Amino acid sequence: MNTDIRNEHWSIHEWQNQIDELLEVSDQPHALFNINEDDTREYDAIFLGGGAGGRFGSAYLRAMGGRQLIIERWPFLGGSCPHNACVPHHLFSECAAELMLQRTMAGRLWFQDLTGVVTSIKDVVDVFRKGRVGPHAIMNYQSKEQLDLEYVLNAEGTIIDPHTVEVAGRRFKAKNLVLGLGARAQMLTCPGAHLKGIFSYESLVEDLDYEPGNTVVVIGGSKTAVEYGCFFNATGRRTIFVVRTELLKLIHDLETRGFVIDRMKEQGIEIWEGSEVEHFTDNGHGHVASVQIRTPDGIQTVHTDFVFAGLGETPNSEMASKVLGVKIGAKNEVLVNPQLQTSVPHVYAIGDLIGGPMEMFKARKSGTYAARHIMGEEIAYDPQDWPDFMHTHYEVSWMGLSEEAARAQYENIITIKMPPDTPDGLDVALPASDRTMLYAFLEPRMSGFQKLIIDEASRRVVGAHHVGYGAKDSFQYLYQLMKQGLTIDQLGDMDELFLNPTHFIQLSRLRAGHRKLKNL
């Protein structure tokens, strides 16, 4: 069944109900067509996939006077971010931070004593499931009523050729095709990997229908594994990370990485590096009962009914490769040039489909850059350079060079650190700022860590690292300034909204007067 919704003007709440119903009966095809039949222009682009890349690319193309069409298999726009990726991850990470605070402050002030209390994972997953169509509805409403985008929802599009896509029995033609087909969780292949109770970020929010027991095995050592694993740990469960090489290799600054890992260990997380799962055993009812793990010290068996695998993502490039013959890289990513063009003329690719970093900024920005190129602008997109972040129980943000890389590249490196290097170690009451005040006063060693790295000769900031709360947003702007050559003097001349979460402005101001820079 297809429904023409062009003349429906559903409110956000009405959209919520529609999406809920469509998600419930996903086995019956029911496409929603929002096509402007009065517009006789040829489409400038069909965006196959209505995630962040397709939606932002469409909005930009439309804003530039072009005509676009999004085709999306889910009954909503916005893609995996609000459905099973960044939004639930942020919810879980917020819970991890709240629970760590609660457990750390137990018995003090108004904090309950949670000693020995294991909180529900399923309840938080249920909170997410119950609320997730809220953002979905906003995306559909905004795209139709405010951005004037054309779209077909809840129907899988099939690529026919570089100018044609078929969806729900109709064929649409466009001058260009923009592929934004996303990526999917990579799964284990060892014996028993099919058992119930072994989750990815995707299946966790779809399938969790029981309360996990008190031991969790997390496989993987990068962002997804760590973010979810820290949440499971914060609920009070024994949490074991099984990492085949090393944990958090992506945080290059060794001191920052060390601080992050030490705080994870302090929370009781067990980290088994150089270890791999050999197989899972069945409890007799198709559910995981134990995990056999090959560690440097021999085989270990962990009894658990709950395993989480954060093994990275595989781009959904199969259809484009098979039908169009677009060139694919070693990790299944669609290869593109800086104009986001694939190897096939008139076919662009954006977002997670073109490989890492699979970050929201890249999805949205690559979509808009493809749109701009289609509309005749000269653009060159370079996603290799970006400020980065992830969550443990904290927010961890970094930009530019690690101290080690900076020392290798420049003759003299100055660092500004909080807490400073003194015999007192971490047990001092700084850094303190929003969301770390209670730690600063009651458990100083947990209030965070920050480091600014400066090339002495040019006085330029070449790297910054932060573990705490609140720095993520400022790093996005500081990074742009840093790329333009931000000096300690300019940083020290900015106005900080006190208490400033990075402290870098105030600390730079203290040092900026020095002709000969010194560590702080």
**Catalytic positions:** 77, 81, 86, 136, 498
Candidates 79-87, 144-152, 309-317, 395-403: pick the segment binding ligand KPC (CB under 6 A): 79-87
Site string for ligand NAP, 259-278 (x = CB under 6 A): -----------------x--
Candidates 77-85, 91-99, 327-335, 473-481: pick the segment binding ligand KPC (CB under 6 A): 77-85
- Selection from ligand KPC, ligand NAP, none that 290 binds (CB < 5 to 8 A by kind) is none
Based on CB atoms, which residue is closest to ligand NAP, 245 or 480? 245
Q: Where are the beta strands (DSSP E) in 220-274?
A: 238-243, 270-273
- Selection from ligand NAP, ligand KPC, none that 139 binds (CB < 5 to 8 A by kind) is ligand KPC
* 204 in contact with ligand KPC (CB under 6 A): no
Based on CB atoms, which residue is closest to ligand NAP, 62 or 257? 257
Q: How far is the CB of 292 from ligand NAP (least distance, A)?
A: 14
Q: Give the DSSP H/E element, type plus range, for residue 82.
A: helix 80-83
Site string for ligand NAP, 390-429 (x = CB under 6 A): x---------------------------------------
Bridge partners, 399 (sequence order): 464
Contacts of 406 (CB under 8 A, 6+ apart): 400, 413, 453, 455, 462, 463
- Selection from ligand KPC, ligand NAP, none that 244 binds (CB < 5 to 8 A by kind) is ligand NAP
Q: Are 215 and 81 in contact (CB under 8 A)?
A: no
3-state secondary structure 338-373: CCCECCCCCEEECHHHHCCCCCHHHHHHHHHHHHHH
Start-to-end CA distance of the chain, whole Å, equals 67
Taking Cα atoms as reference points, which of 202, 193, 200, 192 lies closest to residue 218?
Answer: 200
Based on CB atoms, which residue is closest to ligand NAP, 88 or 135? 88
- Selection from ligand KPC, ligand NAP, none that 313 binds (CB < 5 to 8 A by kind) is ligand NAP
Based on CB atoms, which residue is closest to ligand KPC, 53 or 197? 53
Site string for ligand KPC, 124-143 (x = CB under 6 A): -----------x---x----
* 220 in contact with ligand NAP (CB under 6 A): yes
The 8-class DSSP code of residue 446 comes to G
Candidates 15-23, 75-83, 123-131, 370-378: pick the segment binding ligand KPC (CB under 6 A): 75-83
Site string for ligand NAP, 330-369 (x = CB under 6 A): --------------------------xxxx----------
* 221 in contact with ligand NAP (CB under 6 A): yes
Token digits of residue 230: 């820290």
CA distance 215 to 232: 9
* 459 in contact with ligand KPC (CB under 6 A): no
Candidates 81-89, 179-187, 277-285, 495-503: pick the segment binding ligand KPC (CB under 6 A): 81-89
Q: Are 346 and 163 in contact (CB under 8 A)?
A: yes
- What string of DSSP letters covers 454-467? EETTTTEEEEEEEE
Site string for ligand KPC, 344-383 (x = CB under 6 A): --------------------x-------------------
Candidates 72-80, 147-155, 163-171, 213-221: pick the segment binding ligand NAP (CB under 6 A): 213-221
* 244 in contact with ligand NAP (CB under 6 A): yes
Q: How far is the CB of 390 from ligand NAP (least distance, A)?
A: 4
Based on CB atoms, which residue is closest to ligand KPC, 52 or 269? 52
- What string of DSSP letters covers 149-197? --EEESS-EEEEETTEEEETTEEEEEEEEEE---EEE----STTTTSBT
CA distance 485 to 499: 25
Q: Are 307 and 198 in contact (CB under 8 A)?
A: yes
Taking Cα atoms as reference points, which of 316, 328, 337, 485 lies closest to residue 400?
Answer: 485
CB atoms within 10 A of CB 360: 18
CB atoms within 10 A of CB 166: 15
Site string for ligand KPC, 38-57 (x = CB under 6 A): --------------x--x--
Token digits of residue 30: 């029911």
User: Restricting to residues 110-169, which ones interact with ligand NAP according to CB under 6 A?
Assistant: none
* 75 in contact with ligand NAP (CB under 6 A): no
CA distance 186 to 288: 19
Compute the Cα dihedral for 90, 151, 203, 225 and give only its sign.
negative
Q: Give the DSSP H/E element, type plus range, for residue 48.
A: strand 43-48
Bridge partners, 25 (sequence order): none
* 312 in contact with ligand NAP (CB under 6 A): yes
Q: Note the residues at the interface with ligand KPC (CB under 6 A).
A: 52, 55, 77-78, 81-82, 87, 135, 139, 364
Q: Note the residues at the interface with ligand NAP (CB under 6 A).
A: 89, 188, 219-224, 227, 243-245, 249, 276, 310-313, 356-359, 389-390
